[in-house]
Structure 1
Amino acid sequence: MRNQPGYQKVLYEKYYGYALKIVFRYVYRYEKATDVVNDGFVKLFNHFSRFTCREPEHLEKILMGWIKKIMVNTAIDELRRQNMIPEIGGIPEYVWEEADNQQTPEQRLFYKELIIEVKQLPPSYRVVFNMYVIDGFSHQEIASQLGITVGTSKSNLAKARAHLQKKLNSIRERNICSS
């Protein structure tokens, strides 16, 4: 795939939105997120020979998992370079329009509210929450990736969950009161 721009373009166009949604959970600014996605695709194309699929009937699912792993790792590398300083910036509305068409409008709205709240978490909580809850990493993998202890990973996750629970309860109460 390394020297096959036609195939690269097809893969890039098909999975760009998917990759961007993954990176958005880690990187605030749209412009920076697109840079990270592009860096991730460069890594993907350079290392495509390492991709293996032992179950051809699940090729797309396995490929998406591999893309997800590359994008998460690329986003984390960027956060490390930036010393995990949260970036400031909004998410353009059209990004939410790329949400999975299988979702109901209510699910898309909840997803948007959840991601906005996750992005307001302190960086160390946000990264652990994303990696554990959304991307399915174990505490051991998180600790290894971020250079922290397993205990710190678990603590950051507990604090992130408590913070999000409080925020989401507040949003729910506001919505009930305004009805």
Structure 2
Amino acid sequence: MKNITRIIEGCIAKEHKYQKILYEGYYGYALKTVFRYIFSYEQAVDIVNDGFVKLFSHFQQFEPGNDSDNEKKLMGWLKKIMINTSIDVLRKGNMLSETGSIPEYVWDNTYRGDEADQVLLYKELVILIKELPPAYRMVFNLYVIDGYTHNEIAGLLNIPAGTSKSSLSRARELLQKSLKKIEDAQLCKI
């Protein structure tokens, strides 16, 4: 994003113009982050908006660096806020499985060739991850996708680190079994 340092300074000063620019520029990134934890589109949108409210109300805590690092720092901070907001909502709901579906237009694909294959693979993986039990899914997302350590996950979810490790192991087993079933089904069609 151009002029990210000026946008950050504007957000720290609580200037609505810059808050709007930041919101519109990073809304999609925030929504994709939340979708890894919340699969009800309406609830995910609410969580993203709540996350941005938290971001803007605590922006004075953000410490900008140099121009080249500011966007990375901001995206990391935004990602952390969105993940924590999602976990808070899941915790309040006792990590119940979500029943909503992701609207089809989210998957709209204007790509051709290899990129289209990658988008299709991504869609299939997201669906398989969605089918994991909520606790396994959350640990899988935090560890594999978001890069948290088991100790950090334990702190976020108030569970022992060993539980995080075993949940990850079980999630991987279930995903491997699901992928094997899909592979076997495709081989049978040939």
- Tell me the TM-score normalised to structure 2 length: 0.88
Q: Where do 1:58-97 residues align within 5 Å?
A: 58-97=69-108
- Cα RMSD of the aligned pairs, angstroms, is 1.9
Q: 1:120 to 1:61 in 2, by over 3 A?
A: same
SS in 1 for 2:14: coil
Aligned residue for 1:169?
180
Aligned residue for 1:122?
133
Q: Which amino acid aligns with 2:100?
A: G
- Fraction of identical pairs, as percent: 56
Aligned residue for 2:115?
104
More divergent stretch after superposition (44-53 vs 89-98): 89-98
Q: Which amino acid aligns with 2:175?
A: L
More divergent stretch after superposition (128-137 vs 90-99): 90-99
**8 Å Cα contact 1:27-1:75 kept in structure 2:** yes
Counterpart pick for 1:27 among 30, 38, 42: 38
* Higher RCO (CA-CA < 8 Å; seq separation 6+): 1
The CA distance in 2 between the partners of 1:24 and 1:110, in whole Å, is 16
- Tell me the TM-score normalised to structure 1 length: 0.93
Counterpart pick for 2:158 among 126, 136, 147: 147
The CA distance in 2 between the partners of 1:139 and 1:55, in whole Å, is 31
The CA distance in 2 between the partners of 1:98 and 1:87, in whole Å, is 25
User: What is the CA distance between 1:55 and its match in structure 2?
Assistant: 4.1
Larger-Rg structure: 2
Q: How many matched pairs?
A: 178
User: What is the CA distance between 1:118 and its match in structure 2?
Assistant: 0.6
Q: 1:75 to 1:139 in 2, by over 3 A?
A: same
User: What is the CA distance between 1:5 and its match in structure 2?
Assistant: 1.3
Aligned residue for 1:8?
19
The CA distance in 2 between the partners of 1:64 and 1:107, in whole Å, is 24
The CA distance in 1 between the partners of 2:59 and 2:109, in whole Å, is 26
Unaligned runs of at least 5 residues, structure 1:
none
> Hey, which bits of structure 1, 4+ residues long, moved more than 6 A?
98-101
